[in-house]
A and B are shown apart, each in its own frame.
Chain A
Amino acid sequence: MHRRALLAAAALLPAAAAAQGFAPQNPECIAPAAPGGGFDLTCRLTTRMLNELGIVGPAIRTQNMPGGIGAVAINHINAQRRSDPNVIVAVSTGSWVNMAQGRFGRFGENDVRWIGAIGADFGVIAVRRDSRFATLADLVAALRADAASVPMGAGGAVGSQDWHKAALVARAAGADPRRLRYVPFEGGGQAMAALLGGHIQVFPGDASEVRGQLEAGEIRLLAVLAPQRLPGVFAGVPTAREQGVEVDWPIIRGFYGPPQMPEAAYAFWVEALRRLHAHPAWAEARNAQGLFEFNLLGAEYEALAKRRTAEFRQLAREVGLVTQAP
């Protein structure tokens, strides 16, 4: 057929990318979410930049595969496209949490090829402007005295990434994460509304979603959960580490490929992200997605993914979260 003939012709051409031994054909980005979710944006906006900047020639199409909070996508990749060189899948820290808790069926962090990160958002600890907590130390002291005395809430269930922020701070304070009075909301927006309405006292949210309220002075941030201070409006907010609480919470967004992706294809995609990070236009596009710079790629990214998943598994075991045996 028409398209096939074109493809055959394209394959014969000594394209520039062929120098690396691999040229993608009908490349595809799987977003394990419906159009409009975070994964969907990761796919659509990143692939648009990859195409626009000429890093990847053929148009990358985004395919949505919601189902089971990402479980369906990883199963699809493992069952039907184990060695497909033309597919990448959007992934985030939340997926690692799910892998650690065995929610992806029998597939985990060793069943995919970790390509690289595109950027990261960072957790923050937000309180209302008139809060009794002035610093993270105040919150830590209150949690240490009685973990159940501070009503807090965010957009995810117990065991989700939002809950992890609160749990890690509690643990660092020497309090029992299981005793936290944590209230799950339907998305960060509703949690922010509850914070402004005074129904909860602490909102462990993400930097990108609290920026507006921070600029308007509606809320204060006790800490950002990042290794260094964040730029811009966040520059005045100390990190948790500065305040003696050893907690980082980056929400790292990136891509993985099928477990038996050919080496040349893997190298191609890693290189594509490397060139993306190096391109001056990327910074703006990345900021627009609410992401800060974070550019671990290839082996380094793989090591990170595996280390973090192991840590989450450890925490889940420690506090006795339900885990499905992998």
Chain B
Amino acid sequence: MTASRLLGAVLILLAAAAAFSAQSLVVPFAADPLGPRGFPTTVAAVLGVCGALLLIPRGEPFAWPERRLAPWLLVAAMAGYALLLAPLGFLPATALLAGLVALVFGAAPLPALATGVGTSLLLWALFDRLLDLPLPRGGLG
């Protein structure tokens, strides 16, 4: 199965889900002739047709990741960041994230630490001080 056929199948499933979800919407009263269903259903139909067209084999091999771990490591780091930002506080959390990304992009540990700390301090100054948009202070106050 080529990548584009797989994509086509996923798109058809998505279109079906969207169309189904649209049909289940309850309309309070006929406020306007279009209603909430018509437009998403049409778009889902077009999406489904596009998915079907992709099922026609065209034979592009899918480039499986060469270095599979690195991006997923980043994804995990970012998810962790999102969840830990408030409890940990902006400065430590951001330093951690930026340092980790630096490591993934090939920095040595010490420069990575410097990048992390520098980035988080700079951003904190920019948003919290200059723009007056409060960032979480975390448990460290």
Contacts and interface: CB of A to CB of B under 8 A. Distances in A.
A158 B28 CA distance: 9
Nearest to A1: B141
Contacts of A61: 132, 134
Contact of A158 (B31, B140, B141): B31
Given A3-B141, A28-B134, A61-B134, A322 B31 contact: no
A1 B134 contact: no
Given A28-B134, A322-B26, A178 B31 contact: yes
Given A1-B141, A4-B141, A178 B29 contact: yes
Contacts of A299: none
B32 interface: yes
A250 interface: no
A321 B32 CA distance: 14
B54 to A, nearest CB: 34
Contacts of A292: none
A310 interface: no
Interface of A: 1, 3-4, 28, 35, 61-64, 158-159, 178, 182-183, 319-322
Given A158-B31, A182-B32, 14 more contacts: A1-B140, A1-B141, A3-B141, A4-B141, A62-B132, A64-B133, A158-B32, A159-B28, A178-B29, A182-B31, A320-B29, A321-B28, A322-B26, A322-B28
22 contacts: A1-B141, A4-B141, A35-B133, A61-B134, A64-B133, A158-B28, A158-B31, A158-B32, A159-B28, A178-B29, A178-B30, A178-B31, A182-B32, A183-B32, A319-B28, A319-B29, A320-B28, A320-B29, A321-B28, A322-B26, A322-B27, A322-B28
